[in-house]
Structures are given as structure tokens and as C-alpha cells.
Amino acid sequence: MATLKECEDYARSKGADVAFCMGVVFRLKSIGITHEQILCSAILSQTRSSFDEIFARFGRDVAVMATSIMKDSSQSGKNQESSYIEQLQAAPWESVLIKLCEISANLKLIKESELSKTKRSKMMKKNIHYLNSLKKNIRENQDKALGLQRLLDGANETISELGYRPIKFE
């Protein structure tokens, strides 16, 4: 089984933002997720590696969790985005948790950044769109992660602070 250190080193070798990856891992731990494979998948999901690359090095379970929340780079434009939404909605619950923590980390970056109003708005809308696409899955599985409500409340607080309507998950 892969260790966080091995995954972190691999992510670094692939040019991933390791600090961001560790922010996602921190959020997963804060909602009670301690399973090493889930934490490793969070890091590897930021590498843009293929399923086969991750599978060969870290095993099937990690490859499935990591790649189920990665965009298919062989597609482009609207096809890529609509396929990605379908993929997120069909992803295993563990992958959805990773994606939620990734969105939370993105919202923090957006809030603290000095991006142009246009860029900030575009990034916010994309993250809100992903959250909305995961609402059904969140509703069905909300009781499986003890700190999930706190994560969702934090996301909604940031969304509201930035002038957007909070998302209702119930």
C-alpha cells in the first residue's frame, strides 16, 4: 500500500502543486477521513496522470478514486465539461469527498487571491457548479463523514462572503 510520502514525491515529480494537495489532505483529515488510500488518492488526483500510470504504481483502488475526479484531457471544451460532470456524479463516495475538499481548498484560494473580478467570478461559478452537481450524492451519503457538515458550512460561508447565493444540501 502506498504511503502519503510516496504519493507526495510522485506528485512533486509530476509538477503538481504539493502545497495545494496537502491542503486537500488536511481538509479530509479534518472531516475524519484517515484511510491512507483515500488520502493518497487526493494527492494523486492533482497529478494529471493516467489511470494506467497510477494503477501500475499505486494499485487499482487508488487509481479508481484518483482518476474518477480528474478531467479527461483527451476531450476539450463543452464535451469535456459535460463528461466531467457525469463522471463526478458517478464517482465513488470517497472520490466525492476528495472533490469536496478540493473545492473547499479552491474557495479559500479564490477568497485570498488578488485575481481580477472576471477571473474570480469564473472560478467561483465553476466551483459552485461542481458543488451543485454533487448535491444528490452529498444528500445520500452525508452521514458517512462526521465533519462533512462543517466543511459544507465553511464552503457556503465563503460563497456568501464573495457575493454568491449559498447552496442548500438538504
Sequence ranges of the domains in the chain = 4-161
Residues 124-165 have pLDDT tens digits of 999 999 999 999 999 999 888 888 999 999 999 999 999 999
Whole-number average pLDDT of the chain: 94
Choosing among 2.60.40.1890, 3.40.50.150, 1.10.3210.10, 3.40.50.2000, the CATH entry for 4-161 is 1.10.3210.10
**Quick one: pLDDT band at residue 170, thresholds 50, 70, 90?**
confident
Distance, in Å, from the CA atom of 43 to the CA atom of 13, rounded to the nearest integer, reads 12
Give residue 72's pLDDT: 85
Confidence check: pLDDT of 169 > 90:
no
Lowest mean pLDDT of 14-23, 68-77, 98-107, 154-163, name the range: 68-77
Residues 48-86 have pLDDT tens digits of 999 999 999 999 999 999 999 999 888 877 888 899 999
CB 97 within 8 A of CB 138: no
33 vs 24, 59, 70, 146, 154, CA distance in Å?
A: 11, 20, 20, 9, 17
